[in-house]
Amino acid sequence: MTRRKEHFRITRLAKHYDKKTDTFTYNIAYETTTHLTPRTQQVAEAFGLGTDQQQKFTIYDNTQIKIKPNDIILITGDSGSGKSVLLKAIKHDLKTQATDINNLKIDKNKPIIETVGKTIHEALETLSKVGLNDAFLFLRTYKQLSDGQKTRYKIAKLVESQAQYWIIDEFTNTLDRDTAKTVAYNLQKQARQQNKAVIAATTHTDLLQDLNPSVHIHKQFGKEITINYHPNKPTEQCSLTKEMRIEESTFADYKKLSTFHYRTSTCPAPRKIFTLKRQDELCGVIVYSYPPPTTFGRNKVWKGDFQRLQKEFSTISRVVVHPKYRTIGLGAKLVEKTLAKAGTSHVETIAVMAKYNPFFEKSGMRKIAESKPSKHVLHVIEELNETGFSPAMLGSQNYDEEKIRFIGKDKVVEVLMELSRHEGALRRRLMGSGGVYPTHEEFVDRVSGFDVERLALMVKRLSFLAQTKTYLHWKRRT
């Protein structure tokens, strides 16, 4: 039997990796042959070709590339030019030093907060770094994320992998170009902060400014290749940021973005509202409200009566950035550029995620005090954990209702009763009873009669009480 010739075959693969000089040298060629079919025979006859003729191609001819362990390398070129071949050759030479984004182990059925980091704090910090710092996103599974969010999540897994080289083929090929630019900007930021190397290949050439590669390889068809080396410097700001403007706005604009804030139901009465816009697109919003009568931390920076307080203080009650534009510094920009426009000499805010996303401090505010949950609240959270609740999911009322139905109301009431015995001041906040301060007996009597929905709301409120809050302050310079 005659052996049929292969359609595609690598005929030359010579490579050398010099670790001392960080130099990769490649010689790669391949050949193709035509399978004989009625149609290929007709084409061959029409153009005077031999159907058994082998076509030989050289795509890398003694190509030398210097790649340091902290370089950002971008490989561009048309489809079929040989980008992926080069990427695979480099990956093979680096062996265990490299992690391929397509080979990451991902649990697609668990909430993402459960699949990153050894602790809840590590998970929040890692996910926040890549722009997945939305309370709702923490509770979603990988399968429920958008393409852009999946890419951000994979970058979080790369950060967690501890590999020195991050390999990414077809980088941002499936993303819209705005999302691609934000992802590219964040990728280089994370890699450079971690002192890691990125080796990414893509058909797109619009990422140079945001990725700011120290090595740019442009592969053309055949063996033509251009390699340019640049200083390895972080990108100062995302290209999209330069296109944005800040202007005073109305509550209607806040409502448009409020769905992206974990506390969507209420917002304190606004004093001033500013938005961040890119042409007509609403990218972010900040709400300055009137200050509450009391709050922890304020007495360390200011003293005065209520009338002075209302005149001299504004409180930042909401900062919302559209998910597409997260991780490019818009939160800090919104705060920094509007502090002096709030109309008061003092601005304060209470932040929950300040530890993981310190954009208030980056914008010029000072961290004054921190309020941690009481040991009794933490103990009750741990008891709920032992009964089957995930502490990371307590902020989801739907999740809480499902767990209460599965575990039983009596067990949950029993745990909440224990908190009531030790934390009388929290009874009103747990019940949401306005100005009423119930006794322990009244608390037990009322909570015992709650249906699953109201009981789940109490568990959700408990998750807020378990948060560590930071008081931050800004004062106008005289």
Mean pLDDT by 10 residues, the chain (478 residues): 49 82 92 71 65 73 95 95 92 95 94 90 90 84 95 96 95 95 96 97 96 97 93 95 96 92 75 96 97 95 96 96 93 97 97 84 96 87 88 81 92 84 74 69 85 88 86 93
- Burial class for 264, CB neighbours closer than 10 Å (0-12, 13-18, 19+): middle
Closest CA to 329 of 350, 353, 360: 360
The sign of the torsion formed by the CA atoms of 183, 185, 188, 194 equals negative
User: Tell me, what's the pLDDT at 50?
Assistant: 58
Phi-psi region of 363 (alpha: psi -120 to 50; beta: other; left: phi over 0): alpha
Amino acid at 32: T
The sign of the torsion formed by the CA atoms of 293, 298, 299, 301 equals negative
User: Tell me, what's the pLDDT at 379?
Assistant: 86
Residue reference for tokens 């818009």:
330
> Contact at 8 Å (CB) between 167 and 199?
yes
User: Tell me, what's the pLDDT at 173?
Assistant: 93
- Containing 445, the helix (H) or strand (E) segment is helix 440-448
User: Tell me, what's the pLDDT at 434?
Assistant: 55
For 242-371, which CATH superfamily applies? Gcn5-related N-acetyltransferase (GNAT) (3.40.630.30)
- Burial class for 331, CB neighbours closer than 10 Å (0-12, 13-18, 19+): buried
Q: How many CB atoms sit inside 10 A of residue 150's CB? A: 18
Give the tens place of pLDDT for each residue, 296-353: 999 999 999 999 999 999 999 999 999 999 999 999 999 999 999 999 999 999 998 7
What is the C-alpha radius of gyration for the chain, rounded to an integer number of angstroms?
29
What six digits make up the tokens of 213? 């590669």
User: Tell me, what's the pLDDT at 52?
Assistant: 58
User: Tell me, what's the pLDDT at 3?
Assistant: 42
DSSP state, 6?
P
Fold for 68-229, please state it: Rossmann fold (3.40.50)
What six digits make up the tokens of 175? 């993303």
> Contact at 8 Å (CB) between 145 and 156?
no
The sign of the torsion formed by the CA atoms of 130, 238, 474, 276 equals negative
Residue reference for tokens 């119930």:
438
User: Tell me, what's the pLDDT at 101?
Assistant: 96
User: Tell me, what's the pLDDT at 83?
Assistant: 93
User: Tell me, what's the pLDDT at 303?
Assistant: 96
User: Tell me, what's the pLDDT at 11?
Assistant: 63
User: Tell me, what's the pLDDT at 432?
Assistant: 67
Domain with CATH 3.40.50.300 in the chain: 68-229
DSSP β-bridge partners for residue 218? 76, 226
User: Tell me, what's the pLDDT at 2?
Assistant: 45
Domain with CATH 3.40.630.30 in the chain: 242-371
Give the tens place of pLDDT for each residue, 154-171: 999 999 998 999 999 999
> Contact at 8 Å (CB) between 52 and 7?
no
Give the tens place of pLDDT for each residue, 50-101: 555 566 778 899 999 999 999 999 999 998 889 999 999 999 999 999 999 9
